[in-house]
Amino acid sequence: MGVLTGCTSDESLTYQTDYSNHRPLRVVGYPSTGSLRTVQEAVWRLADGDVEGLAALAVDDDTHATSTARNWVKAFGSAARGDVTADFYDDGLVRQVVVLYFARSGLTKEIEVRVGEDDTWGLTLAEPDPADAAVTPTWAPPTPGGSGSRTSGAPS
């Protein structure tokens, strides 16, 4: 009689553990599977104060990834422990602009997720100046889902 064992990759197990240990992300718009997963992981890294984990999501070998991640954690880490809504814009084939709405603080953060050279989704982390990292997007509506589409009123 053979024995059947289940195989789960470390990556899958880590994702499942993270998912069960964090508040659910609220979603508006139409993310792709890759963009949704990347944004969800970014919010978890923010909530955990995990600078290295957030920097590891960088889509490029960007020299600013760690300093940007540090700035984001400082500006949004505490707020990411509460309810967060991600409003996805664009079509999500290879790039999406996402606005994160942090309910606890009322802060908003525009981020970009895109497919990198290795065909995996990641974050653009190019805000080494703390002031740039904490800027509220002026084009974004005050509440999630308020504009319907980045192309219908936001600058390109």
Residue 61 has pLDDT above 90, yes or no: no
Task: Determine contact, residues 132/70, Cβ cutoff 8 Å.
Answer: no
Average pLDDT rounded to a whole number, residues 73-97: 94
Percentage of the chain beyond pLDDT 70 is 81
Rounded distance between C-alpha atoms, residue 94 and residue 111, angstroms: 14
Was domain 24-147 assigned CATH 3.10.450.50? yes
Task: Determine contact, residues 92/33, Cβ cutoff 8 Å.
Answer: no
Q: pLDDT-based confidence at 21, cuts 50/70/90?
A: confident
**Domain regions of the chain by residue span:** 24-147
Helix (H) or strand (E) segment spanning residue 132: helix 130-133
